[in-house]
Structure 1
Amino acid sequence: MSGQDQSLKLFVVLSKAYKFVMDRAVKDMKRNGLSATEFSVMELLYHKGRTPLQRIGDKILITSGSITYTVDKLEQKGYIRRVSSPDDRRVTYAEMTPLGTELFDRIFPEHAKVIDVIMGELTAEEKQAAIALLKKIGYKAAETR
């Protein structure tokens, strides 16, 4: 098999694996009444804390229009709030509310277990190797835009 054929095969296998992994992960997210985008925004805020709205899209790869819509929905549910920057009027932060933190304290450990089960066929060493290889692919793809 030529190098190009191997690249194409890897692309197909990677795409299919991503689809199946994401389908399972999204199913778990929806079980808790959150869309995948809502869950992703909340997970970012849960782990990173207060984040400028303008930076959320870079962190979880969604468009600014989707961020506004998602933040609005999460605000309506009482899980996050917008906070104006005291230093720069152009900057607005999103942060979790106590209700949002309480929800994530409850649901995130179970979600992490689901992800661990999905990745369960790999040893710790294989997971590290996969992380390194996928980062290498991602960096190359980013530089060839």
Structure 2
Amino acid sequence: MMRLSFNEEEVERAMNLYRVFARAFKSVSEHSIRDSKEHGFNPTEFAVLELLYTRGPQKLQQIGSRLLLVSGNVTYVIDKLERNGFLVREQDPKDKRSVYAHLTDKGNEYLDKIYPIHALRIARAFSGLSPDEQDQLIVLLKKAGIHSQHLLFR
């Protein structure tokens, strides 16, 4: 059963948590934004390249849902990265309706150079937390995200 009421203290705690979370997210995200700009990409383009580099070929719909993008933005970003030779689209031979994006050799070679530096910068951004605290934060954020997502569909 969904809880419908909260006392003032619970509401204030939740709002404080939201503000702290939003500021922390913005601060950590700034490291990735700087990396993307340093390499001539906007943050969305960089996120697509990073996703394909770390997770391999993806359906275009999966890219949108994993990166929280609307389909028009996915198409625009994929078009631009494809024009610049970083990725290609290919139809799924088993399902002609599905289109995958995957990195080209140029894309892989480029990410081979820049991704390790990017990953170190992100690690540095989280270095204020111990490994145990990082693990705890992962668990707690997943739990909060799953719960929040579940509430959207009630």
The verdict on a shared fold, with TM-score over 0.5 as the criterion, is yes
Structure 2 unpaired stretches of 5+: 1-7
Give the deviation of 1:15 after TM superposition: 0.7
Would you identify which runs of 4 or more consecutive aligned residues in structure 1 move more than 3 Å?
Answer: none
Identify which of 115, 121, 143 aligns with 1:114.
Answer: 121
Question: Counterpart of 1:73 in structure 2: which amino acid?
Answer: K
Q: How does 1:61-100 map to 2 (within 5 A)?
A: 61-100=68-107
RMSD, matched Cα: 1.2
Match of 1:55 in 2: 62
Sequence identity, in percent?
A: 37
Identify which of 137, 140, 145 aligns with 2:147.
Answer: 140
**TM-score (norm: length of structure 1):** 0.95
Deviations 1:100-129 (A, max 9, x none): 000000000000011011111100000001
Size of the alignment, in residue pairs?
145
Match of 1:32 in 2: 39
Secondary structure in structure 1 of the residue aligned to 2:96: coil
Identify which of 15, 25, 30 aligns with 1:23.
Answer: 30
Question: Counterpart of 1:24 in structure 2: which amino acid?
Answer: H
In the alignment, the residues of structure 2 paired with residue 11 and residue 55 of structure 1 have an alpha-carbon distance, to the nearest angstrom, of 27
